[in-house]
Amino acid sequence: MAEIAEVVFVDGVRTPFGRAGEKGMYWQTRADDLVVKAIIGLLERNPAVPKDRIDEVAIAATTQQGDQGLTLGRTAALLAGLPQSVPGFAIDRMCAGAMTSVTTLGSGIGFGAYDLAIAGGVEHMGRHPMGFNADPNPRFLAEKLVSEEALNMGSTAERIHDRFPSLTKERSDRYALRSQQKVAAAYEAGKIQPDLIPVATRSAAGWGLATRDEAPRPETTMEGLAGLRTPFRPHGRVTAGNSSGLNDGATACLLASGATAKELGLTTKMRLVSFAFAGVEPEIMGIGPVPSTEKALRKAGLSITDIGLFELNEAFAVQVLSFLDHFGIDDDDPRVNEYGGAIAIGHPLASSGVRLMNQLARQFEEHPEVRYGLTAMCIGLGQGGTVIWENPHYNKKAKAAQR
């Protein structure tokens, strides 16, 4: 049996994320065009990649219908100008769609089936609201496999607050405020823009160009957050301010075997170490990253103290806080979401996994003292996903100097 091949993250890009709905910048833009734009941008940034050498394209979407249907990986590959010889497929694991695209194709590279692959995701929540036209089997509720609240992500976040009284609304609001501040600082420092692919937009006012995320609110204050209504429960704790919004956007990344990257002279931004997915009670789906992280660490032979950088998807502030409390990490730990997260940037469901990876890859370049980082997210219907990455820029001397 052949040895497992080294799997590397060569590069990743995304479109700016827009606000979903008629007032959002992508209201008149097709979902498939968003991901095609991301793929084209990715390939233009990596001209050394022979298009006919790409072995697979996996694109995720949560609501696979209309312009998010028709086997997105294949249709997007053709629309992006890849040769007809390049196959593709679609993936659905709700919020972790793009993450699953990466782990699935990464596994294929490790096994030796692929040398080069493109993974990503798209979600146009304006055109395709989460769960739209879905027909859940009546047995889910009739046989009490899940409660009705488990199908409402905001209600599951309220239940995390119920289960852990130390996770107060004030803590969630303070975390959300910091996310907004960190995103604003990252934009100011030019940390986010390098991986954004501009997208032409159309509205009643005419043509425009999307070059920045639409959702951030740098003017956010604790007073403003405290006054927001709690839509999922009277006198609740989950608000629009301490949650990710409804968004449109797409991501794409290039994966390769270590040998192929070396052959073609491609960059290596990260190395895949391990990954894991885990299931939890659907009613408190937000704690999913806890068991998936424990599982991924165990498979890698690492402990949480080995992780120097964390990119955690901020579906809800309380969900991230439950992860931090479990692992004994402070709310303000500088290792966590250095550039901010989905509360400010947005969370177009199936696309978000690669956004986390893009940000971690950037941070690896700036932190040669860090050897391992992870990307993790909660997933609807009671799941969590975690991917552990190694920093190719790691320098033992830098780590010693930091001490």
pLDDT value of position 1: 54
Q: How confident is the model at residue 2 (pLDDT cuts 50, 70, 90)?
A: low
Mean pLDDT of 23-42: 97
Q: What is the mean pLDDT of the chain?
A: 95
Q: Are 16 and 210 in contact (CB under 8 A)?
A: yes
Q: What is the DSSP letter of 49?
A: S
With a CB cutoff of 8 Å and minimum separation 6, the contacts of 397 are none
Checking if the pLDDT of 142 tops 80, the result is no
> From CA 350, how far away is CA 123, in angstroms rounded?
6
User: What's the pLDDT tens digit per position in 234-269?
Assistant: 999 999 999 999 999 999 999 999 999 999 999 999
With a CB cutoff of 8 Å and minimum separation 6, the contacts of 272 are 7, 8, 9, 106, 110, 387, 388, 389, 390
Mean pLDDT of 49-62: 98
Q: Which two tokens stand for residue 152?
A: 């409402």
> From CA 215, how far away is CA 64, in angstroms rounded?
24
Q: Are 325 and 221 in contact (CB under 8 A)?
A: no
User: What's the pLDDT tens digit per position in 304-315?
Assistant: 999 999 999 999
Q: How confident is the model at residue 143 (pLDDT cuts 50, 70, 90)?
A: confident
Least confident of 103-117, 135-149, 153-167, 354-368: 135-149
pLDDT value of position 203: 87
Name the pTM for this structure. 0.96
pLDDT value of position 328: 98
Checking if the pLDDT of 60 tops 70, the result is yes
Instruction: Output 1 or 2, whichever has higher pLDDT.
Output: 2
Query: Percent of the chain scored above 70 by pLDDT?
Result: 98
> From CA 403, how far away is CA 287, in angstroms rounded?
32
Q: How confident is the model at residue 82 (pLDDT cuts 50, 70, 90)?
A: very high
Mean pLDDT of 311-334: 98
Q: How confident is the model at residue 199 (pLDDT cuts 50, 70, 90)?
A: very high
| Catalytic residue list | 95, 347, 378
Rg of the chain taking only CA atoms, in angstroms: 20
Among 339, 329, 246, 277, CA closest to 24: 246
Least confident of 48-52, 204-208, 331-335: 204-208
Checking if the pLDDT of 70 tops 80, the result is yes
